[in-house]
Amino acid sequence: MYNLPEPELQVGFSVALAEIRGQYLQEALSATIGELDIVQLDRELSEYVPKDSLVALAKHGLRGELVFPVPLVLAQTPRLLGYYRLLYGYSQKQFYSSQTGLNSFFSMEQKGLLTRTNKDNLSSLCKLLSVSGAFLLEGIGNVRISSGLLDDLTLLTLGPQLRGGANVKKGVVGIVKVFDLLHDIVKHAVVEVKSNRIEIRNAARRTVFIEFAADPDIIIREEMSPGIFQLKIAIEVKSGSDFANIHNRIGEAEKSHQKARAAGYVECWTVVNVDRIDFIMARKESPSTNHFYRISDLLSKKGTDYQDFRNRVISLTGIPFD
C-alpha cells in the first residue's frame, strides 16, 4: 500500500507566506510606493541607480525600485530591506554578518525599526545594494526580466528560510484549522475571503473581519466607522499534543490574552489540542481566558462545546443564524 503524510509543512508555508507578502514582498513595496512623493522617488532613483538599468526596466514597464532600494523607500518601510535581500538571493545569516558589515541593519527587516545610525547610513547601504541590483539585472538579461520573475526569485530565497525557521511549525496547522472552521461557521455572511482574512457583513450592515494575527493567533474585529474598530474576540490556538507541556502552553495563552485585554478585546478564547486537559486547572492558570475549547471537539462539528463555540461566534459577530 502507498502512504504519504499530510502536507502540513505546506499549510504552514501558506500562512507564513500570506503574512510575509504584506511585510516584505512586492505587495508591501507597492503599498509603500503609493504613500511616497513620486517626484522625489524618481529623483533618488536617478541618483542611486545606473541609467542603463533604469532604461532596461522601463522597456518592460517596470519601475526602478522593483530592483533597487533608495533611502526614501527604506526610511518609509524599513522591513523592505528584507525584500531586496531576498531578491538578491542572500540568506539572513549571509547578509547580516560581520563580514558584510550589515549586521546593524537587521532590526530594519526583523522589527521594522530604523535607528538614527541606520538612517544616517541608508545612503551608503543603497549604493552598496545598487551594485548587487545591477549585477542581477544584467545576469537576468533584458529579454527575461518581468515582475513575475522577480517575485519568483524572492520566493526561491524565502523557501529555505521558512523551512528552517520558527514560522513553520506544527502550531500553524492548528491555527489554520480553527480559521477554516470559523470560515465554515460564517460562510453565509461572507463578503470576501483572502489568504489571511475573512470579511463578513453582519445584520447591522457593518463589516466584520476575521484575521490571522501574530499575537493572538486569530482576531475578530467589527468596523464601527471607517478605521474605527470594536475588538470582539482574540483566539489563542495551542496545537501541541504533548500533555506534559500543557501548563506552559496555557501560560503562553495567558500572556497573549493579557495583551489582548489591554488592547480592548471583549472576549479571549483558548483552543487546545490536548483532550485530557483539566479545565479547572486551566482557568486558574489563565484567568484572562473566557472560554476554553478542544480542537477535537471543534473539528467534530457536533456536541455541546462545538455548538457553544459556533453560537458565540455568530452572536458576537452579529450575523444571522443560517
Tens of pLDDT, residue by residue over 6-26, are 776 677 677 777 778 888 899
Q: What is the pLDDT of residue 171?
A: 64
Least confident stretch, 118-132, 149-163, 290-304: 149-163
1's grid cell: 500500500
Identify the three-state secondary structure at position 288. coil
The whole-model pTM stands at 0.57
Mean pLDDT of 261-275: 93
The CA distance from 201 to 209, in Å, is 9
Q: What is the pLDDT of residue 15?
A: 72
DSSP state of 144: T
Q: Answer yes or no: is pLDDT of 202 > 80.
A: yes
Higher pLDDT, 9 or 198: 198
What whole-number percentage of the chain has pLDDT above 90? Answer: 71
Q: Which band of pLDDT confidence, cut at 50, 70 and 90, is reported for residue 167?
A: very low
Q: What is the pLDDT of residue 235?
A: 96
Which tens digit of pLDDT belongs to each residue from 23-40? 889 999 999 999 999 999
Q: Parallel, antiparallel, or unpaired: how do β-strands 267-272 and 228-238 relate?
A: parallel
CA–CA distances in Å: residue 62 to residues 68, 142, 143, 208, 309: 11, 12, 13, 36, 48
15 CB-near residues (< 8 Å, 6+ apart): 172, 175, 176, 196, 212
Q: What is the pLDDT of residue 102?
A: 96
The CA distance from 221 to 241, in Å, is 29
Mean pLDDT of the chain: 90
The CA distance from 248 to 243, in Å, is 10
Mean pLDDT of 193-218: 90
Most confident residue range from 18-27, 76-85, 237-246: 76-85
Mean pLDDT of 203-227: 92
Mean pLDDT of 303-308: 95
What whole-number percentage of the chain has pLDDT above 70? Answer: 96
Q: What is the pLDDT of residue 8?
A: 67
CA-based Rg of the chain, rounded to a whole angstrom?
23
Beta-ladder partners of 222: 208, 230
The CA distance from 215 to 255, in Å, is 10
Higher pLDDT, 263 or 170: 263
Exposure class string for 164-201: b at 16+ Cβ within 10 A, else e: eeebbeebbbbbbbbbebbeebbeebeeeeeebebbbb
Mean pLDDT of 115-127: 96
28's grid cell: 508591501
The CA distance from 122 to 89, in Å, is 20
Mean pLDDT of 67-83: 96
Task: Single out the residue of 88, 106, 87 nearest to residue 97, CA to CA.
Answer: 106
**Residues 237/250, Cβ–Cβ less than 8 Å:** no
The CA distance from 199 to 221, in Å, is 10
Q: What amino acid is encoded at 201 in this protein?
A: R
Q: Could you tell me where the beta strands, DSSP code E, fall in 96-227?
A: 190-194, 197-201, 207-212, 218-225
Mean pLDDT of 296-320: 95
Q: What is the pLDDT of residue 311?
A: 96
The CA distance from 140 to 136, in Å, is 6
